[in-house]
Protein backbone atom coordinates (compact mmCIF):
# COMPACT_ATOMS: atom_id res chain seq x y z
CA UNK A 1 0.00 0.00 0.00
CA UNK A 2 1.43 3.36 -1.00
CA UNK A 3 1.16 6.13 1.59
CA UNK A 4 2.16 9.75 1.09
CA UNK A 5 2.14 12.60 3.60
CA UNK A 6 2.28 16.36 3.25
CA UNK A 7 3.91 18.27 6.08
CA UNK A 8 2.61 21.83 5.99
CA UNK A 9 4.44 23.25 8.98
CA UNK A 10 7.64 25.24 8.59
CA UNK A 11 8.60 24.55 12.22
CA UNK A 12 11.08 21.67 12.52
CA UNK A 13 10.05 19.31 15.32
CA UNK A 14 6.94 21.42 15.81
CA UNK A 15 3.55 20.12 16.87
CA UNK A 16 2.42 19.11 13.39
CA UNK A 17 5.62 17.21 12.66
CA UNK A 18 5.44 15.40 16.01
CA UNK A 19 1.89 14.27 15.27
CA UNK A 20 2.76 13.24 11.73
CA UNK A 21 5.75 11.21 12.94
CA UNK A 22 3.53 9.30 15.35
CA UNK A 23 0.98 8.60 12.62
CA UNK A 24 3.82 7.30 10.45
CA UNK A 25 4.94 4.98 13.26
CA UNK A 26 1.40 3.55 13.35
CA UNK A 27 1.43 3.08 9.59
CA UNK A 28 4.78 1.28 9.66
CA UNK A 29 3.32 -1.40 11.95
CA UNK A 30 1.65 -2.77 8.84
CA UNK A 31 4.85 -2.53 6.82
CA UNK A 32 3.80 0.37 4.64
CA UNK A 33 6.42 2.88 3.59
CA UNK A 34 5.49 6.55 3.82
CA UNK A 35 6.82 9.15 1.43
CA UNK A 36 6.84 12.51 3.21
CA UNK A 37 6.80 15.80 1.33
CA UNK A 38 8.10 18.59 3.53
CA UNK A 39 6.33 21.38 1.68
CA UNK A 40 8.32 24.15 3.33
CA UNK A 41 11.51 22.80 1.76
CA UNK A 42 10.08 22.43 -1.73
CA UNK A 43 10.12 24.92 -4.57
CA UNK A 44 6.46 25.09 -5.53
CA UNK A 45 4.96 28.18 -7.17
CA UNK A 46 1.43 29.26 -6.37
CA UNK A 47 -1.22 28.51 -9.02
CA UNK A 48 -1.21 31.24 -11.68
CA UNK A 49 -4.78 30.55 -12.87
CA UNK A 50 -3.34 30.53 -16.39
CA UNK A 51 -5.83 27.98 -17.71
CA UNK A 52 -2.95 25.79 -18.86
CA UNK A 53 -4.51 22.69 -17.31
CA UNK A 54 -8.09 23.28 -18.51
CA UNK A 55 -7.97 21.07 -21.58
CA UNK A 56 -5.35 18.55 -20.57
CA UNK A 57 -5.55 18.22 -16.77
CA UNK A 58 -1.80 18.81 -16.78
CA UNK A 59 -0.15 21.80 -15.13
CA UNK A 60 2.24 23.64 -17.42
CA UNK A 61 4.34 25.11 -14.60
CA UNK A 62 7.53 23.11 -14.23
CA UNK A 63 8.74 22.88 -10.66
CA UNK A 64 8.89 20.39 -7.78
CA UNK A 65 5.12 19.96 -7.84
CA UNK A 66 5.66 17.43 -10.62
CA UNK A 67 6.89 14.88 -8.02
CA UNK A 68 3.71 15.48 -6.05
CA UNK A 69 1.39 15.05 -9.03
CA UNK A 70 2.84 11.61 -9.68
CA UNK A 71 2.71 10.63 -6.01
CA UNK A 72 -0.93 11.74 -5.60
CA UNK A 73 -2.01 9.73 -8.64
CA UNK A 74 -0.55 6.49 -7.37
CA UNK A 75 -1.12 6.75 -3.61
CA UNK A 76 -3.62 4.63 -1.72
CA UNK A 77 -3.49 6.75 1.45
CA UNK A 78 -2.83 10.48 1.72
CA UNK A 79 -2.07 12.47 4.87
CA UNK A 80 -2.33 16.23 5.06
CA UNK A 81 -0.73 17.64 8.22
CA UNK A 82 -0.87 21.39 8.83
CA UNK A 83 -0.79 23.96 11.58
CA UNK A 84 -3.69 26.39 11.67
CA UNK A 85 -2.50 29.77 10.45
CA UNK A 86 -4.98 32.67 10.38
CA UNK A 87 -7.92 30.25 10.76
CA UNK A 88 -6.89 28.13 7.81
CA UNK A 89 -4.25 25.76 6.49
CA UNK A 90 -0.67 27.01 6.29
CA UNK A 91 0.44 28.74 3.09
CA UNK A 92 2.79 25.83 2.43
CA UNK A 93 -0.17 23.43 2.39
CA UNK A 94 -2.44 25.80 0.50
CA UNK A 95 0.02 26.43 -2.33
CA UNK A 96 0.29 22.67 -2.94
CA UNK A 97 -3.51 22.31 -2.79
CA UNK A 98 -4.15 25.15 -5.24
CA UNK A 99 -1.82 23.47 -7.73
CA UNK A 100 -4.19 20.48 -7.60
CA UNK A 101 -6.51 22.54 -9.79
CA UNK A 102 -4.99 20.39 -12.56
CA UNK A 103 -6.68 17.35 -10.95
CA UNK A 104 -9.91 19.34 -10.69
CA UNK A 105 -9.84 19.92 -14.46
CA UNK A 106 -9.00 16.29 -15.11
CA UNK A 107 -11.82 15.06 -12.87
CA UNK A 108 -14.62 17.53 -13.57
CA UNK A 109 -13.93 18.90 -17.06
CA UNK A 110 -12.33 15.85 -18.68
CA UNK A 111 -14.35 13.39 -16.56
CA UNK A 112 -11.26 11.42 -15.64
CA UNK A 113 -11.07 10.98 -11.86
CA UNK A 114 -8.00 9.30 -10.38
CA UNK A 115 -8.73 5.53 -10.29
CA UNK A 116 -9.31 4.19 -6.79
CA UNK A 117 -6.87 1.25 -7.02
CA UNK A 118 -6.82 -2.01 -5.13
CA UNK A 119 -7.30 -0.60 -1.61
CA UNK A 120 -9.55 2.38 -2.31
CA UNK A 121 -8.26 5.86 -1.49
CA UNK A 122 -8.43 7.24 2.04
CA UNK A 123 -7.12 10.33 3.74
CA UNK A 124 -6.09 11.64 7.12
CA UNK A 125 -6.08 15.30 8.14
CA UNK A 126 -3.90 16.34 11.10
CA UNK A 127 -4.38 19.87 12.45
CA UNK A 128 -2.86 21.83 15.33
CA UNK A 129 -3.81 25.34 16.42
CA UNK A 130 -2.55 27.57 19.18
CA UNK A 131 -5.88 29.22 19.93
CA UNK A 132 -9.00 27.64 21.40
CA UNK A 133 -11.07 28.70 18.39
CA UNK A 134 -13.06 26.06 16.52
CA UNK A 135 -13.26 28.32 13.44
CA UNK A 136 -9.65 27.40 12.64
CA UNK A 137 -10.61 23.73 12.40
CA UNK A 138 -13.79 24.44 10.44
CA UNK A 139 -12.04 26.58 7.82
CA UNK A 140 -9.08 24.20 7.49
CA UNK A 141 -11.42 21.23 7.27
CA UNK A 142 -13.43 22.86 4.47
CA UNK A 143 -10.30 23.41 2.37
CA UNK A 144 -8.96 19.93 3.12
CA UNK A 145 -12.30 18.39 2.15
CA UNK A 146 -12.20 20.16 -1.21
CA UNK A 147 -8.61 18.97 -1.66
CA UNK A 148 -9.42 15.34 -0.89
CA UNK A 149 -12.53 15.38 -3.10
CA UNK A 150 -10.57 16.87 -5.99
CA UNK A 151 -7.86 14.21 -5.80
CA UNK A 152 -10.50 11.46 -5.59
CA UNK A 153 -10.09 10.61 -1.92
CA UNK A 154 -13.73 10.07 -0.95
CA UNK A 155 -13.22 9.59 2.78
CA UNK A 156 -10.88 11.00 5.38
CA UNK A 157 -10.57 11.19 9.15
CA UNK A 158 -9.61 14.37 10.95
CA UNK A 159 -7.55 14.61 14.11
CA UNK A 160 -7.28 18.14 15.47
CA UNK A 161 -5.85 19.79 18.56
CA UNK A 162 -6.34 23.34 19.77
CA UNK A 163 -4.50 25.37 22.38
CA UNK A 164 -0.95 24.20 21.54
CA UNK A 165 1.13 27.18 20.58
CA UNK A 166 4.74 26.72 21.56
CA UNK A 167 7.05 24.31 19.79
CA UNK A 168 6.47 20.72 20.98
CA UNK A 169 3.66 21.80 23.36
CA UNK A 170 1.62 18.91 21.99
CA UNK A 171 3.85 16.58 24.02
CA UNK A 172 1.95 17.78 27.10
CA UNK A 173 -1.38 16.52 25.73
CA UNK A 174 -2.37 13.32 27.54
CA UNK A 175 -3.23 11.32 24.41
CA UNK A 176 -2.37 13.28 21.26
CA UNK A 177 0.63 11.20 20.21
CA UNK A 178 -1.20 7.96 20.89
CA UNK A 179 -4.24 9.27 19.00
CA UNK A 180 -2.04 10.12 16.02
CA UNK A 181 -0.39 6.69 16.18
CA UNK A 182 -3.83 5.01 16.19
CA UNK A 183 -5.04 7.23 13.34
CA UNK A 184 -2.03 6.14 11.29
CA UNK A 185 -2.63 2.53 12.12
CA UNK A 186 -6.31 2.71 11.22
CA UNK A 187 -5.53 4.48 7.99
CA UNK A 188 -3.72 1.48 6.55
CA UNK A 189 -5.59 -1.31 8.33
CA UNK A 190 -7.68 -3.26 5.85
C1 LIG B 1 1.39 32.94 11.08
C2 LIG B 1 0.68 32.20 12.19
C3 LIG B 1 -0.69 32.28 12.25
C4 LIG B 1 -1.38 31.56 13.24
N5 LIG B 1 -2.75 31.60 13.25
C6 LIG B 1 -3.43 30.81 14.12
C7 LIG B 1 -4.86 30.75 14.07
O8 LIG B 1 -5.52 31.42 13.30
N9 LIG B 1 -5.49 29.90 14.92
C10 LIG B 1 -4.80 29.12 15.81
O11 LIG B 1 -5.45 28.33 16.52
N12 LIG B 1 -3.45 29.18 15.90
C13 LIG B 1 -2.74 29.99 15.07
N14 LIG B 1 -1.37 30.02 15.09
C15 LIG B 1 -0.65 29.17 16.07
C16 LIG B 1 -0.19 27.86 15.46
O17 LIG B 1 -1.25 27.16 14.87
C18 LIG B 1 0.42 26.99 16.56
O19 LIG B 1 1.55 27.61 17.10
C20 LIG B 1 0.77 25.59 16.10
O21 LIG B 1 1.14 24.81 17.24
C22 LIG B 1 1.92 25.59 15.11
O23 LIG B 1 2.19 24.27 14.73
P24 LIG B 1 3.68 23.77 14.40
O25 LIG B 1 4.42 23.70 15.71
O26 LIG B 1 3.52 22.46 13.78
O27 LIG B 1 4.25 24.75 13.44
C28 LIG B 1 -0.66 30.77 14.18
C29 LIG B 1 0.75 30.75 14.13
C30 LIG B 1 1.42 31.46 13.14
C31 LIG B 1 2.92 31.41 13.08
Mean pLDDT for the stretch of residues 32-45: 97
CA of 60 from ligand 1 middle (Å) equals 33
Alpha carbon 70 to chain centroid, angstroms: 15
84 lines ligand 1 (CB under 6 A): yes
164 lines ligand 1 (CB under 6 A): yes
Using CA positions, which residue lies closest to atom 2 of ligand 1?
A: 85
140 lines ligand 1 (CB under 6 A): no
Question: Over the chain, what is the mean pLDDT?
Answer: 98
pTM > 0.95: yes or no: yes
**Extents of the domains making up the chain:** 6-188
Using CA positions, which residue lies closest to atom 19 of ligand 1?
A: 165
Q: What is the pLDDT of residue 123?
A: 98
Most informative mutation of 85, 135, 140, 167 for ligand 1 (most atoms within 8 A of CB): 85
pLDDT band at 126 (very low <50, low <70, confident <90, very high): very high
181 lines ligand 1 (CB under 6 A): no
CATH code given to domain 6-188: 3.40.50.360
What are the tens digits of pLDDT across the range 166-175? Answer: 999 999 999 9
Amino acid sequence: MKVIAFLGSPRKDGNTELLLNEAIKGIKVFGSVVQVFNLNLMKISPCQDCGGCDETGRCIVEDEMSQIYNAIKTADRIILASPIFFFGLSAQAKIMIDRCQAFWCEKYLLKKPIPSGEYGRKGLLLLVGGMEKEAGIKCSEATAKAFFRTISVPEHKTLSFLGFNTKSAILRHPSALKDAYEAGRNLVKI
